[in-house]
Amino acid sequence: MRSSHELGASGGWQPVAGWQLIVVVVFAITVLYLGNTGERWFPLLDSANLAFHEAGHPLFWLLGSRLGVYGGTLGQLALPLIVALSFWRRRDPFATSLVMLWLFQNFFNIARYMADARAQMLPLVGGDHDWSEIFARWQLLHLDTRIAGLVSLLGWAGVLVVCCALARTWWRARSCTRCC
């Protein structure tokens, strides 16, 4: 068992180096920029997100045909959450932050897809438009763009919270080393 001095102010979390904080902030800025301008496509992440989205449909379909339509969005959110939880359990704030940025980056894609529910202009990999069907089930199709705006706002908030939390962890460790 580690002593309270070994655990430090971070409660057993690995320390955050200045360069790690810079990498996370630069990645966050890139996520925000690419997620909110132009085609809104982050090549490496969005290719993976699309694969997990499509894989989610048949996986959740096994739990019931009505869940299959939700499986795409749930699939693309599940993997980053599982990976983030793994890094969280290892008490690695740098890796956890990077993966949480990936999670919140998904919100911009989901919002774009939601906002397209009525117009259905986005090219689809196959099948029907998930969010058109979901919003129609909930009788919320007329609110597709408003709900999409809220999801996008949650993405922004998530990215900012991740950056602030990592900066706070870095600052606390930095302050603790000065006084100890």
Expressed as residue numbers, the domain containing 63 is 4-179
**The two three-digit tokens of residue 51, written as one number:** 């694969």
Q: Model confidence over 101-150: pLDDT tens digits? A: 999 999 999 999 999 999 999 888 877 899 999 999 999 999 999 999 99
Q: Model confidence over 152-175: pLDDT tens digits? A: 999 999 999 999 999 999 998 877
Domain count, the chain: 1
